[in-house]
Amino acid sequence: MTTIAAGAEFDRQVHNLVKLEDSATAEQLRSLVAPLRDLATELGSVTCEPDTGRLPFVLVVTRQVVPIEQMMPRTTVHGKTKPGFVDRSFEPGSLERFVATGETGLSDDQTAYLLLDVERGEEFCGAVPRDAMNTIRTRGRTPITIEEGIAVITQFPEVLAKNKCFSLGGSRSGDRRVPALWISQHTPKLGWCWEGNPHTWLGMASAGGRRTTT
Q: Which is more confidently placed, 9 or 214? A: 9
Which pLDDT score, from 0 to 100, does residue 79 have?
93
Categorize the per-residue pLDDT at 20 as very low, low, confident or very high, splitting at 50, 70 and 90.
confident
Which residue, among 96, 94, 112, 134, has the nearest Cα to 33 in the 3D structure? 112
The CA distance from 49 to 156, in Å, is: 9
What is the CA angle 186-160-109, rounded to 5? 110
Model pTM score: 0.97
How far, in Å, CA of 135 to CA of 210, rounded?
19
**Long-range contact pairs involving 156-162 (C-beta distance under 8 Å, separation at least 24):** 156/48, 156/50, 156/55, 156/58, 157/50, 157/75, 157/76, 157/77, 157/78, 157/79, 158/50, 158/51, 158/78, 159/50, 159/53, 159/55, 159/120, 160/77, 160/78, 160/188, 161/78, 162/201
Q: How far is residue 26 from each of residues 39, 114, 156, measured CA to CA in Å?
A: 21, 19, 20
pLDDT score of 212: 92
Mean pLDDT in the chain? 95
Phi–psi pair at 180, nearest 5 degrees = -155, 155
Residue 89 pLDDT = 92
C-beta of residue 104 within 8 angstroms of C-beta of residue 170:
yes
| Residue 73 pLDDT | 95
